[in-house]
Amino acid sequence: MDILKLINEAEKDIKGEFAKIDDTCLFYSSKVLEAFQKHNVSEACFAETTGYGYNDLGRETIEKIFATIFNAEDALVRNQFVSGSHALSKTLFALLRPNDLLLSITGLPYDTLHEVIGIKENASSLASFGVKYAQIDLVADDFDYEKVEKYLKNNKVKVIEIQRSKGYSTRKSLTIEKLEKVIKLIKSIDRDVIVMVDNCYCEFVEKVNPIEVGADIVVGSLIKNLGGGIAPNGAYVVGNKALIDLVGESLTLPGEGREVGPTLGVNKALLEGLFFAPSVVASALKTSVLTSCVMQRLGYKTNPLYNEERADIVVDIQFGDPDKLIKFVQGIQSGSPVDAHALPIPWDMPGYDDQVIMAAGCFTQGSSIELSCDGPIRKPFIAYMQGGLTYEYGKLGLIKALEFMQNEK
């Protein structure tokens, strides 16, 4: 296999896809810049607060910027969130009370939420507090509109949870077009139900966001798309102001809520990461498109195909063989800037039922906007690849992975 020839031929086929990505990048770059200017970002916003974190100008400005970008009433953007899963957990605990009903209409949620909800038993789960749970599976990579309608007409649901990205499943990630259709249906039946969207991996991929099609509250991580590879941690929640206030009190404490939370000098990194995010997301998308095109040429099934509409930055490659999956992931690690010498192996990862192999030679631990690749060791043995701070580094990472696979045969 002549890897460079394969890459060069693939790049000729994907020029049209790259042009679409560049157009979206310019759209969001303009939106971010206008939000920075509207809210008067200045050097004073970079100042550090400690202790209680009262009167943090930078924190308040960042939250106004996020609300503006999403066209939301309000936003909560905090480095106190450990991860996107943590932000999702705090949001669910903020919105749900004993005997309330949580409904997932995208089937089984991501593995890390199983103990949060109580799908997997945990004494601190929502179920342990009397919150009820039900789910409706997707059908042919779309919502089961008939079942959703029937369920809502026969049950009083407090919160509907929608996970846009595929997680460790074989389905396609959900586009804004599909999201808009199902939210219109939901609100036509019950305007009071809270529609909560897990937007991880999806930000700045399409020109319309979930708030703009009727979602009440949207959650995402800052070590994914909107952190631009610069934010060291944190997550965001945007949406209805009253709901955001509840999440703020869930994160800190009732009565103080969003008024506390020291930023400890992180504001500059959050602002700078957001500023670079449109370009970084574009690079990740280009890396995804290239990977999909190349792996298709090699005979592997990829999702999405290189010329399909994308809803997030993730591309999955179905190997059908655990050894091939492991070698590809190890190859991505060998193309990383950090710990390239390390050899990842499958291991028992907290929150997951199956062993997981993960390549993450990242500057920020767990940062999946940086080039990373992972997958559970279970059939059909799929590698989930995402990120790439620049297209050039993403391309080099893919080349290293292909070389590793070729040399290991």
| pLDDT tens for each residue of 26-73 | 999 999 999 999 999 999 999 999 999 999 999 999 999 999 999 999
Does 99 lie in the same domain as 218? yes
Does 69 lie in the same domain as 204? yes
Q: Is 225:201 a contact under the CB 8 Å cutoff? A: yes
Q: Has residue 35 been placed in a domain?
A: no
- pLDDT tens digits, 207-223: 999 999 999 999 999 99
Question: Among 127-131, 366-370, 405-409, which is the least confidently predicted range?
Answer: 405-409
How many domains is the chain partitioned into structurally?
2
Q: Is 319:327 a contact under the CB 8 Å cutoff? A: no
Q: Has residue 33 been placed in a domain?
A: no
Distance in angstroms (rounded) separating the CA atoms of residues 135 and 140: 16
Q: Which of 82, 105, 102, 104 is nearest to 92 (CA)?
A: 102
337 alpha-carbon distance from chain centroid: 22
Does 110 lie in the same domain as 239? yes
Domain boundary among 206, 236, 264: 264
Q: Has residue 125 been placed in a domain?
A: yes
Q: Has residue 163 been placed in a domain?
A: yes
Q: Has residue 46 been placed in a domain?
A: no
Q: Is 299:85 a contact under the CB 8 Å cutoff? A: no
Q: Which domain holds residue 169?
A: 54-264
Does 400 lie in the same domain as 251? no
Q: How confident is the model at residue 400 (pLDDT cuts 50, 70, 90)?
A: very high
CATH for 347 = 3.90.1150.60
Does 225 lie in the same domain as 161? yes
Does 204 lie in the same domain as 76? yes
Residue 80 structure tokens = 């106190």
Does 238 lie in the same domain as 370? no
Does 296 lie in the same domain as 260? no
Q: Has residue 292 been placed in a domain?
A: yes
Q: Has residue 59 been placed in a domain?
A: yes
Does 298 lie in the same domain as 322? yes
Q: Has residue 42 been placed in a domain?
A: no
**Backbone φ and ψ of 198, nearest 5°:** -85, 105
At 234 the pLDDT is 97
| Upstream peptide bond of 376 is cis (omega within 30 degrees of 0) | no
CATH for 164 = 3.40.640.10
Does 123 lie in the same domain as 166? yes
Question: Among 224-228, 281-285, 322-326, which is the least confidently predicted range?
Answer: 322-326
Does 351 lie in the same domain as 210? no
| Upstream peptide bond of 304 is cis (omega within 30 degrees of 0) | yes
Does 59 lie in the same domain as 22? no
* Residue 119: CA count within 13 A, CB half-sphere: 18
Domain boundary among 264, 287, 311: 264
Q: Which of 232, 303, 283 is nearest to 398 (CA)?
A: 283
Collapsing DSSP to helix, strand or coil, 221 comes out as strand
Q: What is the mean pLDDT of the chain?
A: 95
| Whole-Å CA distances, 200 to 3, 83, 303 | 32, 10, 17
Domain boundary among 230, 264, 298: 264
* Residue 385: Cβ-neighbour burial (10 angstroms; 0-12, 13-18, 19+): buried
Collapsing DSSP to helix, strand or coil, 282 comes out as helix
- pLDDT tens digits, 122-151: 999 999 999 999 999 999 999 999 999 999
At 1 the pLDDT is 77
At 408 the pLDDT is 64
